[in-house]
Structure 1
Amino acid sequence: MSEQVRDAIVIGSGPAGYTAAIYLARAGYQPLVIAGAVTPGGQLVNTTEVENFPGFPQGVMGPDLMDQMREQAEHFGAEVEYDDVTAVDLSGPIKTVTTDGGEHYSARAILVTTGSNYRKLEVPGEREYGGRGVSYCATCDGFFFKDKPIVVVGGGDSAMTDADFLTRYGSSVTIIHRREGFRASKIMVERAKANSKINFILNTVVTQINGGPQGVESIDVKDTITGETRQLDANGVFIAIGHTPETGFLGGALDLDAEGYIVVDGASTRTSLPGVFAAGDAVDKIYRQAISAAGMGCRAALDAQDYLTELDAQA
């Protein structure tokens, strides 16, 4: 158990967490970043080229961007631990977090930047064939479906990006979306439509994923307008239908909305408890961009600095 009471702990990494750590470290607070055990750096570590993060005119690989952010935070004095927070006690002036490795850390201020997880279809066969044809990460698993039919489920930017990437491998790529219109940005939709290897099946939902000993073989789909059902050949099913905020570990310590996102005070990053701040995709259900998460991480650090400064003034 760590006896030291730190000024600030950042739970989570990614653009929000690392940006918050950079600001706090430069202000002299030497934050501890508990970055996660499996995917430190957040969703961008599973992304190939990022074209819309300012300062990189030729684009930058997602893992490289996260490595540079982490290195910048460490350069200014942040400490990074690669573990997951499993429990918190956020009441009182000193807050405590417990990690999966059994460590306990205490701090005067806590910043939650844990992001979100991939949302599931919740249909028969999805869990059974996870890792055997069902995937939530095109860049991780696309290679395994070389010259095989691939399906991408979703209608947002992630679905369009995944489909475009997967055309490098699949014999065909079909985007299945439950509506006629897309949530994706116009440029991403146009790019997908311009790719001759991408097909679209709209107003359609996946009802079941079928397979055998070798993995996924087909999917059952249903037309949402006519009710007609049919079966499509597919060996790879990539699901890109959104995210669920990673806030379960809080155990009800903070106010959440109906979807599980952390509630903050207006345009600030202040949560329902003094000294606890939140940023990134655990809060933001609208924009979900690396740059907006980074900006929110900056705001969380500045809010935390104001809080710590006020505590010091009262001491």
Structure 2
Amino acid sequence: MSHVNLTQIIEKMKLENLTPEIDVKGIKITQPDINRPALQMAGYFEHYEATRLQIIGFVEYTYMEAMTEERKNKIYNQLLSYPIPCIVFSRELHPDPLFLQIAKEKNVPILMTKKATSAFMAEIIRWLNVMLAPCISVHGVLVDVYGEGVLITGESGIGKSEAALELIKRGHRLVSDDVVEIRKVSDDTLIGNAPDITKHFIELRGIGIIDVKTLFGVSSVKDTQSIDLVIRLEDWNKDKEYDRLGLEEEYTDYLGNKVVCHNIPIRPGRNLAIICESAAVNHRQKKMGYNAAQELYTRVQNSLARRREEDEEDD
């Protein structure tokens, strides 16, 4: 199961640890959902999602302040007895000493953020959705071409890295070479990134490993990119019929999401970088509502219709 260490969350979200005595290194978050324990503060613990990250905002905080000491002692002990990964107080709200004391006894980390509750919730949910999304690794190269994430796949040695290098020289940005980690962050969106060990590196046969960031600058690389288009490179087969119009889209499937896929035959003299650029721009144009293949088809149909009308008039 995917997980995020609590130490990562503390570092990423710049949280202040109010219980430094508690060791947070082994605590893991396994789901992107959060919980605001308002009903639990009122004493209702049915269906309590205790394994989620807990966030206490201004409303919960003022309710806690209004409780009697006896009520606090009962509710705090009951609340903190559950296996809670951590509790985050927003708006720099400080929990009362009794809450901190019981949290330390129950070994529940208490954290604090300066951000407003809604803003922090939106940010943490978005980040956890990416980090905990279903993930697979595929063999290929991911490049940002005019804002479109182009995943170049194909057999080893067919020229994927060489095409990526030419695209980088033409001003586009490398995300990953050789291995691409793909995460499904929603039913419509796939996000690709490079493994930490190979980030910003490209392997070129006959030359070896090159550092793209060092050679071409920070503007030539990118950490993550949505995958909008797949280009599958294959050896040219003269006996195979290749699509020359593109009226019907072909798709490939990753983690249940369909992505537009073009099969590009490779033969000497074909400039892969320009082909990839053209495919990316054409795909972007289609998303904006213009389809060149459909436009050509419409023109042909109109031309044929005019000829038929002229023939009927002649008769």
| TM-score category, normalised to shorter length | under 0.3
More helix by share: 2
Normalising by structure 1, report the TM-score. 0.26
Larger Rg: 2
Higher relative contact order (CA 8 A, sep 6+): 1
